Amino acid sequence: MAQGGRHLQFVPCNESAISPVVVRMLIIYYEEHLRQSSSDRMLGHLLVLVQHDWPNHESLFARVVSIIREKSQFAYARFFDYITHVEFIEEFAYLANTGCNLQLLAQPTHTGRRTVTRGVNKGAKEELRNALEKQMIRSALSSSSPCTSTLRKFMTTEKDVLDAVKA
């Protein structure tokens, strides 16, 4: 390794070899920016990436959860699309049960009807609990750890993840 901490790594030119390298680079990038800002979107993206290099970044996961706990709220509408690791789902179920305001479900789009504010959150906690249970079952029945297709979907759908690194 060079004096400046750089490291040259040769990997085969295929998705299974390159994905872990890209994930590690993105984790380092977001971890550095975590000191300056901790938006829900950034925290959510970091959670998605950390689960794909689990348990190597267990302490970073604990740090993200600690930030969420301190804020006492967290909104990441794509949570159920990308978070598939059982330990992560368990931790968010615990946060929900301890009073943390979690908004993990995609909000329905408005159809032009009048917005009603009374009783908006009625049943929201139960809906979140049910969604977490369903996600836990899906993850438990999955034969492997978070799959490459989930990571591929994340990288293509959330293009801002890569755009942020370009700057």
Q: What is the pTM of this model?
A: 0.78
Q: What is the pLDDT of residues 151-161, one digit of tens each?
A: 888 988 887 76
Per-residue tokens: 163 = 């755009």
pLDDT in tens, 46-56: 999 998 888 89
Q: Which of the four pLDDT bands, split at 50, 70 and 90, describes residue 1?
A: very low
- The pair of structure tokens assigned to 136 is 């836990």
- Nearest by Cα to 166 from 4, 7, 26: 26
Is pLDDT of 2 > 90? no
